[in-house]
Structure 1
Amino acid sequence: MQRAAVDGAERPSWADAGLYNPDLAPVPQAQRDWSWVNMATVWMGMVHNVVVYEAAAGLMALGLTAWESLAAVAVGYAVLFLAMWFNARAGTRYGLPFCVLIRSAFGPHGGQVPVVLRGFCAIFWVSVQGYAGAQALDAMLAALSPGWAAIGGAVLGMSLRLWLAMALFWALHAWIVSHGVHRIRNFELVAGPAVIAVGACATAWGLHVAHGLGPLFAVPPGHHPASWTTFFVGVTGMIGVWSTFAVNIPDLSRFARSERDQALGQLIGLPITAVVFMAMSVITTSATVIVFGHAIWDPVELLLAFHSKWLLMFGGATIILATLSVNVAANIMPASYDLVNLMPRRLRFGSAATLVLAIAVLFAPWLWFRDAQGIFAVLGALGGLLGPVTGIMLVDFYLIRRQHLSVADLYRYDGIYGARSGWNPAGLIAFVLGGAIASAGYVIPALASLTGFSWFIGIAIGAGTYAVLARRGSALATGPLRVV
């Protein structure tokens, strides 16, 4: 096959320079070496984070019991698993990332719209998760070192001490991603099991102290099960944490050895691990009611409550490891691919990851944390907008393309996916309509009750609209199925 040089790298002669980059190219079969163990540990590393740990508190605040909360987690993550399993298949079959696959439904130019939106959401999460991790690091260093605690001053509304903690935490991120995707895989291979092992130790402590599951699992006499509406709100809340990742799951599955590896790995790493981890958090928190007289859901606060430097060091390192794990795999990795897709001639994965970290600081997360509701409102609205993208991708791959794609045409402006000058009206209309309806509750007070179901609404409207428009639109003719 003839190849042409592009900015120091080679590209196939059939690929347009503005759409191709070695990081965006199909992963050769010989390099798709992620087993089900790798997929499982990557998901373990992402699921084991402070947000998920504290999620049980939010569910119980809705009125759910501990058992009902675990059931909501199980249902929510089972739905996520199904969506990701089906959306991951295209990545596994063709070795392609999300930002390339999306061109099939939106066109090479139109595909930049959901890519930019997903990239924005990922960088926002990098900022939020990174700042939360830096706060934990700062709290632990202050407890361990009087010199650190004595650092004073503030810059741009944030303490100098926290700026230093952020710099250290950002440097850890940069080190992990410095050697690309394979270093991330190897990091998650250690991080995921390590966090679950520490969680198991905390759970054993909780069971010992409480002489069983503890008071949080004790259902009050006469308690009536929560209404289905409350339960469903809890389910959609769990889905909302990972709904954006349902869009770009091909970024991971493209490295899987087979369909079996990606499916089995996600089954173990997502719904099963989530339920186990949530149970660990409730059992541990249940023990804090007995030991400290009140429930402590914040793991950093729990570590400080023991007044043990050794426990603080050990537990703090685990929290840092867990936060790094989720941020690298779930946020930096997809955001980096999205930036590479926007500037394929200028960026490679490593330089894009560095740029992601720099942009994340510009989001000024310390200002967002003054209004936690603002964070979740933004992320909820973005999740509602990305729901239609998931629905469109599923309909396009399974119903319209019948699971067959011409890889070469995904890298051409004039290929069979070029639609109308690189813009596919069907995908764009379905995206705008689905996103508008799914997010209406955020701007129309009378529809505020719909915000809890925005992901489901977005998927349904986006998928249904695209199915109708794609069937009728001549611009979506699949053409000859040329697989390179």
Structure 2
Amino acid sequence: MSNDGRKGQASNDYLKSPDLFPIAHEDRKIGVIGFGVIWVGMAIVLAAFAIGAAGIVNLSMPLLIVAALVGSILIGIFMVVIGDIGVEHGLSFPVYMRAPFGTIGTHIPSFVRAFTASCWFGINTYFGSAAINGILNILFGFDNWFICFIVFAALQLFNVSLGIKSIERFADLAAPIIILISIWMYIALSGEAQAQGKEVWAWVEMPTSGFGTFTAFMIVAMAVMGFWATLAADMPSLSRFFKAPKNERNWIKRNKSQLLGSLVVQPIFNTLMIVIGAVCYMATGSGDPVNALQQSAGGIILAILLLMIVLAQWSTNTSANVVPAATIFSNIGGPKVPFWVGVVFAGIVGTVVQPWSLFEILNSVLLIVGGILTSIVGILFADYYLLRKRRVNVTELYEANGQYRYMGGMNMAGLISWVVGGVIANMYPTYSSLIGFAVGAALYYVLAKYWWFKKYPQAEIEHPDDSQYLGLTVGRSWVIDETPEK
């Protein structure tokens, strides 16, 4: 073998990490109910309290609820649309990103997504550790939240390392308990707010009118979209495990495992958490849920409620944060970095960023992150639906010198569109997520179709053959050849 051949083989090995191979039809275990239950666990996340606490300053509760629902449904649509990549082809987010960004270029936006998810892992773990510390303080007089943080992080990472099915089983246990504590928190905090003379459904700290109200409304909706923008971009990493019928050409029927969770369960429970955050602010003057519980309960009752908070953070972190981050870190590192190493790295990043400080500036960060990540969502939409028409030359995604290598592994159409989309979105933060999506999609479509793909022709676009380039729709489970190059 020549030196060039050895280099080619090394590069191919880099792309062919077993954890990133397409998921076969028979290995997809999560159905409609299973994903709905997972969404309950993911959506009951205490960081959402911050959105409600900030929103109730300028909006009444009814308007806050509408804004939260609008943002939730819009980002839910993004999730389902992009999730078809995983359902149809069994591909994860970082692997498909090789198409619009290149085999090397994929690592840049993918790392940003993984880093963001790791930060969320840290924030949720911080809330959980504060709750654990409260429990131990009640029962044993122990008081060291940082030790609780380290232990809680380690337990979650171990759970994720067991695999995706263990996450669904854990959510099955946590979901009904989480619903009960959410209802209890709303009742308890509403009572405290009313005792202070604040009518929950009419109180506004700083009322606005006209355009000011509309701006406040849009900021809440965009914050909600920014909150879940990481998962919207990365949905294929989860949706590739969803059950779906073979040879089904109806898009809705093929994606039915996604629809209930992302468009019904997610908006309901996401909005519920935002409402509780708003009531928490009315009752205590802050959006800190652990502090609110400690003010409204005590003794063994408080310990049980804090335990529920721990379960809520655990179930959210596993599905929404650690799995996507670990998958991406594994992809960046190649076969020598298995999934479990990616899991550990996500935990390290989530700790180093000091999430106990990050939470204090969360709302401002969400508007920025939303524009950056929904720009990626727009690029994925344009690449998958508008240009390739859902057809993908999947085997080439794993070839170092194949179709998606482009210019030194970079698809400049994707990288330029992402940067421009993110910058323009953050020039108008009130509408950041919508602008990021629209600019990313439109610019990528023009640059790719009329410039980049003229230089680097794409087989599935030049010869659009369903039998060759579709997956589940034509009954195919993609199999990647692991045979070394000659």
The answer for the alignment partner of 1:401 in structure 2 is 388
Q: Deviations over 1:329-358 (max 9, x none)?
A: 211111100111011221222222122212
The answer on 1:426 being equivalent to 2:413 is yes
Counterpart selection for 1:175 from 147, 155, 158: 158
Q: Is the 8 Å Cα contact of residues 22 and 91 (structure 2) preserved in structure 1? A: yes
Q: Is the 8 Å Cα contact of residues 180 and 349 (structure 1) preserved in structure 2? A: no
Please report how far the alpha carbon of residue 399 of structure 1 lies from its aligned counterpart in structure 2 after TM superposition.
0.5
Q: Is the 8 Å Cα contact of residues 243 and 387 (structure 1) preserved in structure 2? A: yes
Please report how far the alpha carbon of residue 32 of structure 1 lies from its aligned counterpart in structure 2 after TM superposition.
1.0
Say if 1:353 and 1:102 are closer, same or farther in 2 by CA, change over 3 A.
same
The answer for the alignment partner of 2:448 in structure 1 is 470
Please report how far the alpha carbon of residue 22 of structure 1 lies from its aligned counterpart in structure 2 after TM superposition.
1.7
Report the 3-state secondary structure (helix = DSSP H, G, I; strand = E; otherwise coil) of the residue aligned with 1:217: coil
Task: Tell me the amino acid that sits aligned with residue 465 of structure 1.
Answer: L
Q: Deviations over 1:77-125 (max 9, x none)?
A: 0111111111111111111110011111111111111111111211222
Counterpart selection for 2:343 from 339, 350, 353: 353
Counterpart CA distance in 1 for 2:259 and 2:271 is 18
Please report how far the alpha carbon of residue 257 of structure 1 lies from its aligned counterpart in structure 2 after TM superposition.
0.8
The answer on 1:187 being equivalent to 2:170 is yes
Report the 3-state secondary structure (helix = DSSP H, G, I; strand = E; otherwise coil) of the residue aligned with 1:325: helix
The answer on 1:40 being equivalent to 2:27 is no
- 1:77-476 matches, within 5 Å, as 77-146=72-141, 148-149=142-143, 161-203=144-186, 215-218=199-202, 227-258=213-244, 259-279=255-275, 285=280, 289=283, 297-366=287-356, 368=358, 372-373=360-361, 375-378=362-365, 380-439=367-426, 441=427, 450-473=428-451, 474-476=454-456
Q: Is the 8 Å Cα contact of residues 64 and 231 (structure 1) preserved in structure 2? A: yes
Unmatched runs of 5 consecutive residues or more in structure 1? 1-12, 150-160, 442-449
Counterpart CA distance in 2 for 1:204 and 1:229 is 30
Say if 1:82 and 1:65 are closer, same or farther in 2 by CA, change over 3 A.
same
Q: Is the 8 Å Cα contact of residues 285 and 295 (structure 1) preserved in structure 2? A: yes
Counterpart CA distance in 2 for 1:265 and 1:87 is 14
Counterpart CA distance in 2 for 1:18 and 1:423 is 16
Say if 1:195 and 1:31 are closer, same or farther in 2 by CA, change over 3 A.
same
Which deviates the most, 50-59 or 113-122?
50-59
Task: Tell me the amino acid that sits aligned with residue 415 of structure 1.
Answer: G
Say if 1:393 and 1:325 are closer, same or farther in 2 by CA, change over 3 A.
same
The answer for the alignment partner of 1:29 in structure 2 is 25
Counterpart CA distance in 2 for 1:132 and 1:461 is 35
Say if 1:280 and 1:435 are closer, same or farther in 2 by CA, change over 3 A.
closer
The answer for the alignment partner of 1:446 in structure 2 is none
Please report how far the alpha carbon of residue 422 of structure 1 lies from its aligned counterpart in structure 2 after TM superposition.
2.0
Report the 3-state secondary structure (helix = DSSP H, G, I; strand = E; otherwise coil) of the residue aligned with 2:435: helix
Say if 1:358 and 1:205 are closer, same or farther in 2 by CA, change over 3 A.
closer
Task: Tell me the amino acid that sits aligned with residue 240 of structure 1.
Answer: G
Report the 3-state secondary structure (helix = DSSP H, G, I; strand = E; otherwise coil) of the residue aligned with 1:339: helix
Task: Tell me the amino acid that sits aligned with residue 393 of structure 1.
Answer: L
Q: Is the 8 Å Cα contact of residues 388 and 460 (structure 1) preserved in structure 2? A: yes
Please report how far the alpha carbon of residue 433 of structure 1 lies from its aligned counterpart in structure 2 after TM superposition.
1.5
Q: Is the 8 Å Cα contact of residues 420 and 475 (structure 1) preserved in structure 2? A: no
Counterpart CA distance in 2 for 1:393 and 1:188 is 29
Counterpart CA distance in 2 for 1:89 and 1:460 is 19
Please report how far the alpha carbon of residue 74 of structure 1 lies from its aligned counterpart in structure 2 after TM superposition.
0.8
Q: Is the 8 Å Cα contact of residues 138 and 303 (structure 2) preserved in structure 1? A: no
Say if 1:80 and 1:476 are closer, same or farther in 2 by CA, change over 3 A.
farther
- TM-score, normalised with respect to structure 2: 0.83
Please report how far the alpha carbon of residue 69 of structure 1 lies from its aligned counterpart in structure 2 after TM superposition.
0.5
Say if 1:175 and 1:109 are closer, same or farther in 2 by CA, change over 3 A.
closer
The answer for the alignment partner of 2:482 in structure 1 is none
Aligned CA-pair RMSD: 2.8
Counterpart CA distance in 1 for 2:71 and 2:86 is 23
Say if 1:137 and 1:94 are closer, same or farther in 2 by CA, change over 3 A.
same
